[in-house]
Amino acid sequence: MSKKNSNNFDLVLTKLISDVFEKAGNKSLNYKQVAAELNIQDYETRELILLVLKEETRKGVLQEPEKGKFILKQLKTYVTGKVDMTADGSAFIVSEDEFEEDIFIAPKKLRNALHGDIVKAYVYAKSKGRKKDGEVVEIIKRAKMEFTGIVKFSEKFAFFVPDDRKMLHDIFIPLADINGAKNEEKAIAQIVDWPEEAKNPIGKIKQVLGKQGDNNAEMNAILADYGFPLAFPDQVEKEANAISDIISAEEIAKRRDFRNVLTFTIDPADAKDFDDAISFKKLENGNVEVGVHIADVSHYVKPNSALDKEAFERGTSVYLVDRVIPMLPERLSNGVCSLRPHEDKLCFAAVFELDKEANVITQWFGKTIIHSDKRFSYEDAQTILENKTGGYSEELLKLNELAYILRERKFKHGAISFESTEVKFKLDENGKPLGVYIKERKDAHKLIEDYMLLANKKVAEFIAKKGKGKQKFTFVYRSHDLPKEDAILNFAQFALKFGYKIDTSSGRETARSLNDLMFDVEGKKEQNVLTQLAIRSMAKAIYTTKKHSHYGLAFDFYTHFTSPIRRYPDVMAHRLLEYYQEGGKSVDEETYEKMCLHSSQMEKKAADAERASIKYKQAEYLEDNVGEQYTGLISGLTEWGMYVEIIENKCEGMVRLRDINDDFYVLDEKNYCIIGQRKKKKYQLGDEVKILVKKVDLNKRQIDFSLVQ
């Protein structure tokens, strides 16, 4: 054998031996066991294996815990983290605490771990320059055991094809566990067993959702997929139905009575849960008293009750395209707690005396009773504001005048105005989309928002400043961090390509120039792309006990106080405010921080479910338009394709790079574009392109476009 061939053989043998030890994990092996694993029997090669083992030990790749026994050297051998699946069946373990880089796991080394699972993984020792990889040794916590999908029958068994693109295994369903499901029906399946050597898990059909493509079945599938229950437990409904809507004289006596003060609600035309109302009164000194009255959910929902536990688990109401899945049963959300017109209702209020410059002269927080005089829709209120006439026009116009001052002051202090477009659908009686339109935000929407912001800000300030000095009062804040420097610099570079300059010299200057940008792009074709990219460059707002400030609003202190019917953190804020006003000592921070974390997680799931329902309806809308041409804007870029948003209806689909056949295109991530390798043709984020609707997959909620070149 030549020296060159000998060296190549040594390298191959070393790699094979390395694979044997990686497969063995934390088990030590002698040279005979290694030879057996490689099916090598000749004496000469077995001796060579021993030489390689000793050389790899000398290099520090292996170690020899006892004479003749070898094992991969343990650096930081084990890591705990979350599984992030890829489309090819491999995965990465994401561990924020122990490793900066993610650990690659080959498909055969996942040990039945699924996307999102918390696992313990063995990390192989690697030589310099190679990425860390390993294998799963223990599944600590499953992310989920229930999946939505389609039931398919064969002769002796059924199997279940999950909707979740990151669930790459079909679930085997014994016919005894089919629960009445029919072939091709949509259902929820639960994994009940997964034998170690079995390729597929074994499950049972937990609930049949209905015919594939049926609106109710598809919307319920989205809810179930994101972990939201489709109904309230019997005990929760029982508790809710037992709550009386009769308000006793004793309860009224404990509260500040606003029943003779003008009070009204302004909500969407189709709203049923009214959790905030505004009271208005002129004062003798020329100032006005504005009350922000919030449904007193905490009066009815007691800590540790079945109602409370269910509300906490849900965390939030979920708003899909065609329905609301409430956090609280209808008896409370649309009945007892809802601030319906011409009914006495219990509230927790923030009441402000405002001068003509919208300065807060006095403030008061406490329990109230109200009697709403009028239920305005946003459209009704907007008509009055525009025509300057109609019922309660004087009061609405004064409130709007003060709201403008509050808004201007907020932006002057560095708040950011993100006016992203909200897509709405016109649906028929079966939920099928007949059209798509963009919801406009006018003064009536902004007026209500400004007074809610004022209440949230002042409640947070009240608690934070009450706790100054030695004692800090644990509270639930809505926190929004400064954007990461590299993210905002990347966005500034991209905005410059459209001719917009972002000053990144300080947080306040960044906010000021972002506002200038948002004003300048309004109504222009690049508005949505730049707004979405700007939002993506921002940190995500979360619930926490630890930080008070909200960068996007430029508030030092901020909480969520104004929507307890639909958000659990607001219920916590109500309870804590009342408790501290009565002289209570600070509650345990760690306990509330865990509750905040759960609330943030459920808020994200609800937002993802809402987006999934929009994606489904967009796909359903375009299903009848396959072959049609549209003009769109490039709204996102990945290694495998570019997302395009149709200008006229905001439906988004993907043009796959493999389908662009005039060149070989690759992603230039830094410059937000894809570039043809031969002709150097460039497609950039925000570019206008002509597309054709190529294919629609309703099950995957995917729309495929092709470029019209």
pLDDT tens digits along 504-517: 887 778 888 888 88
Which pLDDT score is estimated for 154? 86
pLDDT (average), residues 653-661: 92
Amino acid code (one letter) for 275: D
Which pLDDT score is estimated for 17? 86
Which pLDDT score is estimated for 8? 65
For residue 133, what is the enclosing H or E element?
A: strand 133-141
Q: Which residue has the higher pLDDT, 127 or 277?
A: 277
Share of the chain above pLDDT 70, in %: 96
Residue 210 has pLDDT above 70, yes or no: yes
Domain 78-141 listed as CATH 2.40.50.140 = yes
CATH code: domain 3-72 is 1.10.10.10
Share of the chain above pLDDT 90, in %: 59
Nearest-5° Cα angle at 514, 512 to 518: 120
Per residue in 44-103, pLDDT (tens digit) is 888 889 888 988 888 777 888 888 899 877 555 788 899 999 888 889 998 866 566 788
- Strands 133-141 and 665-668, by their bridges, are unpaired
Q: Where in the chain is the domain with CATH 2.40.50.140?
A: 78-141, 625-707
- Strands 263-267 and 318-319, by their bridges, are unpaired
Helices (H) and strands (E) in the chain — how many of each? Answer: 17, 33
pLDDT (average), residues 237-243: 97
Amino acid code (one letter) for 525: K
Residue 491: which of 529, 540, 520, 542 has the closest Cα?
Answer: 529
Residue 423 has pLDDT above 50, yes or no: yes
Residue 246 has pLDDT above 50, yes or no: yes
Residue 114 is encoded by which pair of tokens?
Answer: 């699924």
What is the secondary structure of 265-322 as a DSSP string?
EEE-TT-----EEEEEEE-TTS-EEEEEEEE-HHHHS-TTSHHHHHHHHH-B-EE-SS
Residue 566: which of 332, 343, 264, 221 has the closest Cα?
Answer: 332
Which pLDDT score is estimated for 603? 97
Q: Is 188 exposed, middle or buried (0-12, 13-18, 19+ CB in 10 A)?
A: buried
- Strands 360-371 and 344-354, by their bridges, are antiparallel
- Give the pLDDT band of residue 519 (cuts 50, 70, 90): confident
Q: Is 60 left (phi over 0), alpha (psi -120 to 50) or beta?
A: left
pLDDT (average), residues 378-406: 96
- Give the pLDDT band of residue 419 (cuts 50, 70, 90): low
Residue 168 has pLDDT above 50, yes or no: yes
Is residue 92 within 8 A of residue 81, CB to CB? The reply is no
Q: Which residue has the higher pLDDT, 271 or 459?
A: 459
Residue 251: which of 372, 334, 367 has the closest Cα?
Answer: 367
Per residue in 279-295, pLDDT (tens digit) is 999 999 999 999 999 99
Is residue 570 within 8 A of residue 603, CB to CB? The reply is no
Which residue bears the tokens 């939002």?
A: 535
Residue 632: which of 620, 617, 649 has the closest Cα?
Answer: 649
Torsion of CA 512, 515, 517, 519, to 10 degrees: -140
Residue 544 has pLDDT above 90, yes or no: yes
Sequence-distant (6+) residues with CB within 8 A of 352 are 289, 290, 291, 292, 360, 361, 362, 363, 364, 454, 458
Residue 678 has pLDDT above 60, yes or no: yes
Amino acid code (one letter) for 40: I
Q: Where in the chain is the domain with CATH 1.10.10.10?
A: 3-72
Please give the C-alpha separations between residue 511 and each of 514, 537, 553, in angstroms, as whole numbers: 5, 12, 10
Residue 693 has pLDDT above 90, yes or no: yes
Which pLDDT score is estimated for 537? 83
Residue 417 is encoded by which pair of tokens?
Answer: 């105005």
Average pLDDT of the chain? 90
- Strands 158-162 and 146-153, by their bridges, are antiparallel
Biggest CA-to-CA distance, the chain: 106
Least confident of 97-101, 207-211, 277-281, 520-524: 97-101
Which pLDDT score is estimated for 126? 61
Residue 2 has pLDDT above 60, yes or no: no
Which pLDDT score is estimated for 681? 92
What is the secondary structure of 624-652 as a DSSP string?
TTTT-EEEEEEEEE-SSEEEEEETTT--E
- Give the pLDDT band of residue 401 (cuts 50, 70, 90): very high
Residue 630: which of 652, 614, 661, 615 has the closest Cα?
Answer: 652
pLDDT (average), residues 392-417: 93
Residue 521 has pLDDT above 50, yes or no: yes
Sequence-distant (6+) residues with CB within 8 A of 582 are none
Sequence-distant (6+) residues with CB within 8 A of 691 are 629, 630, 631, 632, 644, 646, 653, 655, 705, 706, 707, 708
- Give CA–CA dist 329/320, Å, rounded: 17
Which pLDDT score is estimated for 672? 79
Residue 183 has pLDDT above 60, yes or no: yes
pLDDT (average), residues 195-215: 91
Which ranges constitute the DSSP H helices of 498-549?
507-521, 527-537
Top-tier CATH class for 625-707: mainly beta
Residue 430 has pLDDT above 90, yes or no: no
Please give the C-alpha separations between residue 125 and each of 15, 57, 664, 682, in angstroms, as whole numbers: 13, 12, 37, 42
Sequence-distant (6+) residues with CB within 8 A of 377 are 266, 267, 268, 269
pLDDT (average), residues 434-444: 87
Nearest-5° Cα angle at 539, 701 to 548: 130
Which pLDDT score is estimated for 420? 64
The answer, as to whether pTM is greater than 0.85, is no
pLDDT (average), residues 446-463: 96
Residue 129 has pLDDT above 60, yes or no: no
Residue 557: which of 472, 468, 474, 456 has the closest Cα?
Answer: 456
Which pLDDT score is estimated for 674? 92
Give the three-state DSSP class for 150: strand
- Give CA–CA dist 121/77, Å, rounded: 8
Residue 641 is encoded by which pair of tokens?
Answer: 């394709």
Which pLDDT score is estimated for 4? 46
Q: Where in the chain is the domain with CATH 2.40.50.700?
A: 146-212
Domain spanning 146-212, CATH architecture: Beta Barrel (2.40)
Residue 296 has pLDDT above 90, yes or no: yes
Give the three-state DSSP class for 705: strand
